[in-house]
Amino acid sequence: MKPAIRAFDPAAYLKTPAARAAYLSEAFETGDVAFIADALGVVARAEGMTRIARDTDLSREALYRALSSNGNPELSTVLKVTAALGLKLKIEKTSDMT
């Protein structure tokens, strides 16, 4: 008999606000838009998508669609979701900029 294989869900491992913030920080560091959108969705699921939807005045369905690896969330959606997560985006100058 083969053992049951379960799909990996990173949201199950993001139990603290610090872990969720670190996960998102790493996602933004990649510069990969699809990964960033998906990471926002993972963190929103870890926090509770129903609450995030309520706090952003967006539907859960719209959030699931936008915050996936196939999604392309508008900047306003990203800002609403990060605010609902109790996070803010920060811009830093990189060392190679003049």
| pLDDT per position as a tens digit, 34-68 | 999 999 999 999 999 999 999 999 999 999 999 99
pTM above 0.95, yes or no: no
Distance CA 76, CA 83 (A): 11
The three-state DSSP-derived secondary structure of the chain is CCCCCCCCCHHHHCCCHHHHHHHHHHHHHHCCHHHHHHHHHHHHHHHCHHHHHHHHCCCHHHHHHHCCCCCCCCHHHHHHHHHHCCCCCCCCCCCCCC
Q: Phi and psi for 54 in degrees, rounded to 5? A: -65, -45
